[in-house]
Amino acid sequence: LDFPPLLHINNTMSNQKIKKAGGAEPDEFEAQVAQELLNLEMTSTELKASLSDLHITAAKEVDCGAGRKAIIIYVPFKLQRSFQKVQARLVRELEKKFSGRHVIIVAQRNILGKSYARSQKTKGLRPRSRTLTAVQDAILEDIVYPTEITGKRTRCKVDGRRVLKVYLDGRDQANVEGRTDTYAAVYGKLTNKQVSFHFSS
């Protein structure tokens, strides 16, 4: 029997779950994540309807130290709210598929530099939401979602390094405590900033 055509159809369908910038081809790992999303869409009655209109833009595996790895999945900014509606369930299912590696979903955002100049049609300042600080704040909120950030404080160490202390809603402590090292590692990889997580009482 000749199976390749079926395989080709499957690959084409899973490729609809990932749309990279400029029409670039997904790498092997991204294709694997896209395939798992497609599998969930086909088999999970709870996720089927929600996932049918959703796709991701990229995925990568990062080293979190101490032999731990995490998966960062980038989603289009316009689809973030739709993803968040099913995020808890989706993350749980994906973490089962990827043998317990923590899965973090982050919206794809573009940072506009200080030299940003709008086109002739739209004059004015760059949007506040696209500055480096605003994007880094938004990434932090994405990483810890659905837990709320209740406070932030910057601490300067003796060697001059700055550490951002982030306080999370204490009501989520039991569910989130085992993930905070991953959160800190992922935030560090994405922003080159050091962060420590604590829980508000």
- Tens digit of pLDDT for each residue in 10-56? 566 777 899 998 889 999 999 999 999 999 999 999 899 999 999 99
d(CA 132, CA 17): 29
By CB atoms closer than 10 A (0-12, 13-18, 19+), residue 82 is middle
Distance in angstroms (rounded) separating the CA atoms of residues 70 and 140: 15
Q: Which residue type occupies 43?
A: T
Residues ≥6 apart with Cβ < 8 Å to 34: 14, 15, 17, 18, 26, 56, 59
pLDDT of 66-111, one tens digit each? 889 999 999 999 999 999 999 999 999 999 999 979 999 999 987 6
